[in-house]
Structure 1
Amino acid sequence: MIRSPEAHPRRALPAQGATSARRSLLRLISADAPDATASAGRAPAGPAPAAVARAIAGAERRPLAWVDRDGVLRLANAAFAALLGAEPAGLEGRSACDLLCADAPGRAQALLRAAFRGALHRTELTAVRGGRTYGLKVELAAVGRGASAALCIDVHEVVERAAAPVVCGTAGDLDYRISAGASDFGRLLALSGAGAEAALRVGRRCHEVLHGRPSPCPGCSALRGGGEAWPRVEVRRAPRTGGFEVATATALPGDEVLVSVRRVDDAALAAVREARTAELVRRFELSPREEEVLRLLLIGRQAADIGTALGITPRTAKFHQANVLRKLGASSRRDLLGLAS
């Protein structure tokens, strides 16, 4: 028996109850239609089939649910509702595709269609509870025809899935809001830009789900000393993809911080550097030769290398280098890099 996904995330549920019993239950649900005797003014002979089905389902310890041909959940027992952190009545009437495959509703619809045709009897679905994702190994059984057909979803095993981190350098731009409190620093309160699974990550620590780290990132702008003014900006090399990330942390009321991450790839940086260099050449009226020397200085070339590249002596290269530094008001190569960045 599974009391909650957290209690037994990897425990296989014991097999109990024959398939024929579940088929009988399906027939009871399928028979839930206005009774002909009632329409003739006579009271029905016994309890409505759906009431009987609900009672039988409630006695089942294994998570069970039934959906109609439109993918609407018609009945769920308490064990199934517990997987989703809800009450059975709160699930009925909702889309099974949204509940069991929110990340890929199209796939869920295809699975249901195949199960109704009898072409699929076992598969794996997905459930989400409390920001955690669970894989559900299920058996599917269809019964009935036409509008009264129903599909039983019989959960055999529940396995918690670890969410893959959204590494900032591979996800592009991100905006997220975190708690900055001492007891729950880094807890995600909102996240955008991380795809369809963004909502599943809310409530967990940002350094875990965004960076794959067990602890806050070194140099985290939201962790810096309290005396530093907001907003706080950190520039770091982007993992895996190259380029850089610019992370801007802005303090919000209520001990919260908004973090915006913008990615700048190497091509964009090169374009910015080229535009900046052209602006320096124009503003400080560098000669064509001085422009050539400046560009070589900016990529780290020494005087001897510059002389070889331009067909001049190292002494002449040093002369042009001195003129470039003087015109731009720079005292070193480091100053030149700062002007061109």
Structure 2
Amino acid sequence: MKRVTILGSAGSIGRQTLDVISRMRDEFSVYGLATLNEVEVLVRQIEDFRPDVVAIGDKSISNELREALRENTPEILSGDEGVIELASRENADIVVNAIVGAAALKPSLAAIRPGTRLCSANKESLVIAGHLIMPRVAEVGAELIPIDSEHSALLQASLAGRYDEIKRLILTASGGPFHGKNIDFETVTVNDALKHPNWAMGAKITVDSATMMNKGLEVIEAHWLFDIPSDRIDVLVHPESIIHSIVEFVDGSQIAQAGLPDMRLPIQYALTYPDRLPGAVPSLNLAEVGQLNFSEPDYRRFPCLLIAYDALDAGGSAPCAMNAANEAAVRLFLEGQISFAEIPRLLNRALTKHAVIPKPTIDDILAINKEVFEETVRSVE
């Protein structure tokens, strides 16, 4: 039996990971759980899964957690350092990082240990520090298995050939709630942007999907995971979200991974890789789906995707600056302080002002992330 730590257990991916584990209790047990401040959710998870250790990111409510636990109290860690310590504990065979945003970087690095598998649902860590993470994974002999449905699909499809036989990677994108619709983006509301047609996700990633920045982040993530340059990574809009991604090989063959749009499928694959086990997700019935559609992205209406390609090509600290500006812009939009159309404008502004550092250290990355985030927020005050 493998022991699993879940960082971000109260979020969408964290809850779905626990759902997968609940159906596979002969294969997995929960060693640790971490959340920022969702005490009530964490208490229920502790009662259901009996972890040995939990971490609450917000130190100010750690006592609230202790008071809420009447019996069978696990070890409780608190603060950012508590989350990082939990990630570094060697007791877990698998660490699932489902923390949203750049805050996941230090826990990701802490989880990379000899013989440990990091199942990452956090694309931002690779976006801002792929040049640090991937060499470390190779150096210590750890595993990094992606949970993103697209990168899970690329991993599965890539196994059909050798690395040197891969011609290009094709990431599919639903297009978000505004694909094919004649909508004035200046008038888009938060509720409009949060109505994803296919996937149940958290607010930040759902807005990223609406701007197509999510796909831009995934392009950068794919670059680091598979060591493929940007000119060999394409995006294809596929509204049904049935084909999750495609690998094209040098002989012209394209291998696609298909399945229902349910995050439990890539979560389970990341946990059981390279094995496959019966799971909770129903089988795909293509006859019922009936029709699959594909089209090129509209870079004019969704400039965030092109901004991400530009940041990847600029290299160094540019993706970090872009990501920080995007995190700030999405928060501002969700708080009603800027329009939906303002998001790419803030990203362009941040990248124009940013002086790229070719090989940023972890300290550089954290400083840039903080500086660009705060400057983006100040720019609209």
TM-score bin, normalised by smaller chain: under 0.3
Q: Which has the higher strand share?
A: 1
Greater relative CO, 1 or 2 (CA 8 Å, sep 6+) = 2
Provide the TM-score with structure 1 as the length reference: 0.22
Provide the TM-score with structure 2 as the length reference: 0.21
Q: Which has the higher helix share?
A: 2
